[in-house]
């Protein structure tokens, strides 16, 4: 399984650009996109005006000018902190984009004309349909399909994987990506994208954030935050005449401070950063999401459709068991099976040696004089002739049966039974003989990838249904499904069956994810809510999907779903924390506003804050500093543990709900202790 790319949280360059970006984003036209923080910026403008013209609102006195100035500064810092959080998230993406842009710089292309002549041009002017020739050591200038040649391609500039990938015409490995390097031989490539539309261009655009749009959940949450802001604004507006009627004189700056403290500024300041960071985390896991909606949909996945071969199993049949027949013993079968496979470089042959040495505890090396025979379609068996004349063979049941029969040997009575047992389990039986004696059967089966059983159990724990698709017969499919621990399977599955399965799940209101790499997977990838195409796959598959796995690891879908879950949990947790904060800030500001005139309000001053001014400013300062304190959490995400929704909700309510109430009580009190002496020196 691929590991997430580890990078520093904030580099010096990102920090410098983020500080600059925080001020640039103060532009009201930009701030209007975030209504909650726009209200805070308007509050800053009004309190700044009060510093110079207090009389227009009926406020007088030099102390009030100073108080208004302090409030204005804190409000400005609050907006800057929110902008800084978003700028940091964008900065991480832009830093990654710069490294990708290096692969495009000064790229040349050798274009072929219809008469076969070669012309070197700038890669930037290549058009869809052009034919280019790329030789060893040269960079592929743009996305395309191999139409002639076979070569190894280094895709490390895109995927980070150092091992070259073999590319050739036809099949699922004909697609090549611009920016990768041909390391051997040559390729003739037909360009499949116009300038600015290549996969690398899309990657750069996505990681820079230029193409990001608000996701449905983000829009819904933004609507909630705007609604809460409007409600609190109405409350504050009606509070002023009530206070006047009660004989309490409230400064406009105090009302603004109350508004800013009660509206959900914490989540409002971090909302964009959380969304950007979610896409960033997927990108650093070597998966390119074509939209934020795709990442978010991963968090809502209910059903996961997976291919068996290459995803759940290795795709190569591996030795699983040695089954002796007749009166033979297992140790003899293991010995002859291993010797016959010492020079067998197929995955099956290597697995026989590995299993045999593990069971016997002995390491076997080829001896001088051994004559090895390779498997052929005609003989349907392979083996070795030993120096002492012993002839060991392993192969298909009927081939070995005929071979031993021709030598005059006896066929064990239980051999056919053992062979049929293996076949019914969906395995491949390899019969082993030495001379005219048959020693037993090697059970080859498509092996489940390690760790998948536990991962499927984790998915089941969070309510995600897994469906395995395979072309195997129902008996084999049932055996693999049971071993892997998937919830259900589709045997003898055709491409149209995948689409049918996806639509059936979606008709029940479920969100479906699947992986694929071939052209025949494209319709199903397009139909699925989350479609992850392999980078090694065809252009059709990558165009149809809304995510591309650069490592071409089909099991990555399991990781991406957890990243999507983490994104939603992070957003929900910080929203809970932000709204819970209002409880403490309410107990800080409301008593401070009224207790001078209404002494009975002192009972609500449970934090024992020193003065009305210190109470209001302490709450306002805490409201500002909590935003940068939560930036690391917004970037890295809340730690995710697979569990049922009900348990997850209660856990997050306990941690972020209760924590969101307790933290401000402690923080505001500490700030009050620190600033009270300073305010007394200033006469406040």
Active-site residue set: 307
CB atoms within 10 A of CB 245: 8
Residue 394 counted as an annotated binding residue: yes
| CA pseudo-torsion sign 556, 558, 559, 565 | positive
Residue 381 counted as an annotated binding residue: yes
Q: CA triplet 479, 484, 488: central angle to 5 degrees? A: 70
Helix (H, G, I), strand (E, B) or coil at 324: strand
Helix (H, G, I), strand (E, B) or coil at 108: strand
Residue 376 counted as an annotated binding residue: yes
Beta partners for 176?
A: 144
Residue 229 counted as an annotated binding residue: no
Express the helix, strand and coil content of the chain in percent, nearest 5 each: 55, 15, 30
Q: How far is residue 337's CA from residue 539's CA, in Å, rounded to a whole number?
A: 44
Q: How far is residue 513's CA from residue 503's CA, in Å, rounded to a whole number?
A: 12
DSSP string, 254-323: HHHHHHHHHS-HHHHHHHHHHHHHHHHHHHHTTEEES-HHHHHHHHT--EEEEETBTTTEEEEEEEEEEE
Residue 243 counted as an annotated binding residue: no
User: Are the beta carbons of 262 and 611 closer than 8 angstroms?
Assistant: no
DSSP string, 629-662: HHHHHHHH--------HHHHHHHHIIIIIIHHHH
Residue 290 counted as an annotated binding residue: no
Q: Cβ neighbours of residue 110 under 8 Å, at least 6 residues apart?
A: 118, 119, 120, 132, 133, 134, 135, 138
Element (H or E) spanning 120, and its range?
strand 118-122
Residue 517 counted as an annotated binding residue: yes
User: Are the beta carbons of 550 and 160 closer than 8 angstroms?
Assistant: yes
Among residues 201, 252, 241, which one has the least CA distance to residue 54?
A: 252
User: Are the beta carbons of 26 and 79 closer than 8 angstroms?
Assistant: yes
- In which residue are the tokens 């400064």 written? 251
Torsion angle, alpha carbons of 353, 357, 362, 368, to 10: 0
**Residue 149 corresponds to which tokens in the numbers above?**
């040649």
CB atoms within 10 A of CB 106: 8
User: Are the beta carbons of 85 and 71 closer than 8 angstroms?
Assistant: no
Q: How far is residue 614's CA from residue 597's CA, in Å, rounded to a whole number?
A: 17
Helix (H, G, I), strand (E, B) or coil at 244: helix
Residue 390 counted as an annotated binding residue: no
Residue 281 to residues 162, 184, 592: CA-CA distances in angstroms?
21, 34, 43
Q: How far is residue 179's CA from residue 107's CA, in Å, rounded to a whole number?
A: 9
Residue 18 counted as an annotated binding residue: no
Residue 521 counted as an annotated binding residue: yes
Question: Which residues belong to the annotated binding site?
Answer: 344, 348, 375-382, 394, 517, 521
Question: Which residues belong to the annotated binding site for ATP?
Answer: 344, 348, 375-382, 394
């Amino acid at each position: 399984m691929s590991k997430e790319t580890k990078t520093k949280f904030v580099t010096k360059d990102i920090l410098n650009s983020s500080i600059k970006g925080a001020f640039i984003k103060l532009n009201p036209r930009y701030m209007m996109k975030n209504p909650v923080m726009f209200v805070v910026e308007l509050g800053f403008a009004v309190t700044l005006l009060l510093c110079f013209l207090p009389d227009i609102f009926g406020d007088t006195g030099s102390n009030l000018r100073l108080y208004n100035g302090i409030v204005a500064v804190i409000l400005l810092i609050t907006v800057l902190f929110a902008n800084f959080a978003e700028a940091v998230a964008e900065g991480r993406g832009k830093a990654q984009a710069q490294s990708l842009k290096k692969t495009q710089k000064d790229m040349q292309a050798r274009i072929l004309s219809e008469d076969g002549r070669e012309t070197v041009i700038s890669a930037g002017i290549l058009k869809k349909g052009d034919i280019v020739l790329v030789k060893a050591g040269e960079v592929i200038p743009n996305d395309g399909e191999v139409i002639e040649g076979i070569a190894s391609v280094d895709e490390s500039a895109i995927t980070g994987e150092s091992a070259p990938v073999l590319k050739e015409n036809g099949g699922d490995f004909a697609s090549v990506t611009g920016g990768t390097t041909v390391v051997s031989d040559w390729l003739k490539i037909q360009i499949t994208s116009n300038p600015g539309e290549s996969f690398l261009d899309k990657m750069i655009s996505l990681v820079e954030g230029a193409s990001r749009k608000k996701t449905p959940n983000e829009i819904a949450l933004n609507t909630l935050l705007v609604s809460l802001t409007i409600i609190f604004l109405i409350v504050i507006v009606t509070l002023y005449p009530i206070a006047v009627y009660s004989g309490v004189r409230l400064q406009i700056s105090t009302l603004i401070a109350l508004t800013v403290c009660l509206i959900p500024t914490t989540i409002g300041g971090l909302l964009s950063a959380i969304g950007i960071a979610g896409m960033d985390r997927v990108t650093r896991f070597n998966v390119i999401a074509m939209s934020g909606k795709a990442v978010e949909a991963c968090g809502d996945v209910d059903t996961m459709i997976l291919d068996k071969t290459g995803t759940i199993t290795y795709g190569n049949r591996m030795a699983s068991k040695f089954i002796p027949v007749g009166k033979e013993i297992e140790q003899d079968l293991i010995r002859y099976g291993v010797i016959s496979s010492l020079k067998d470089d197929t995955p099956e042959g290597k697995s026989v040696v590995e299993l045999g040495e593990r069971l016997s505890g002995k390491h076997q090396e080829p001896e001088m004089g051994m004559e090895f025979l390779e498997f052929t379609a005609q003989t349907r068996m392979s083996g070795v002739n030993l120096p002492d004349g012993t002839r060991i063979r392993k192969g298909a049941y009927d081939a070995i049966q005929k071979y031993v029969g021709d030598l005059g040997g006896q066929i064990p009575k239980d051999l056919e039974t053992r062979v049929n047992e293996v076949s019914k389990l969906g395995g491949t039986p390899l019969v082993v003989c030495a001379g005219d004696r048959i020693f037993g059967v090697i059970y080859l089966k498509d092996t489940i990838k390690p760790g998948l059983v536990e991962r499927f159990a984790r998915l089941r724990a969070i309510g995600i249904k897994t469906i395995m698709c395979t072309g195997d017969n129902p008996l084999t499919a049932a055996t693999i499904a049971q071993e892997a621990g998937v919830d259900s399977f589709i045997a003898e599955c055709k491409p149209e069956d995948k689409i049918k399965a996806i639509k059936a799940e979606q008709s029940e209101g479920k969100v479906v994810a699947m992986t694929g790499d071939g052209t025949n997977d494209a319709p199903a990838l397009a139909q699925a809510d989350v479609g992850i195409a392999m980078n090694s796959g065809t252009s059709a598959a990558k165009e149809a999907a809304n995510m591309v796995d650069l490592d071409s690891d089909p099991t990555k879908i399991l990781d991406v779903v957890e990243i999507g879950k983490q994104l939603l949990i992070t957003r929900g947790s910080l929203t809970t924390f932000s709204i819970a904060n209002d409880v403490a800030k309410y107990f800080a500001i409301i008593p401070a506003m009224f207790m001078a005139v209404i002494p009975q309000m002192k009972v609500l001053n449970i934090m024992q804050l020193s003065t009305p001014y210190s109470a209001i400013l302490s709450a306002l300062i805490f409201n500002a500093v909590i935003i940068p304190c939560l930036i690391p959490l917004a970037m890295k995400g809340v730690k995710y543990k697979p569990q049922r929704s009900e348990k997850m909700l209660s856990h997050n309510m306990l941690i972020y709900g209760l924590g969101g109430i307790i933290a401000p009580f402690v923080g505001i009190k500490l700030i009050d202790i620190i600033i009270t002496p300073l305010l007394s020196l200033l006469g406040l």
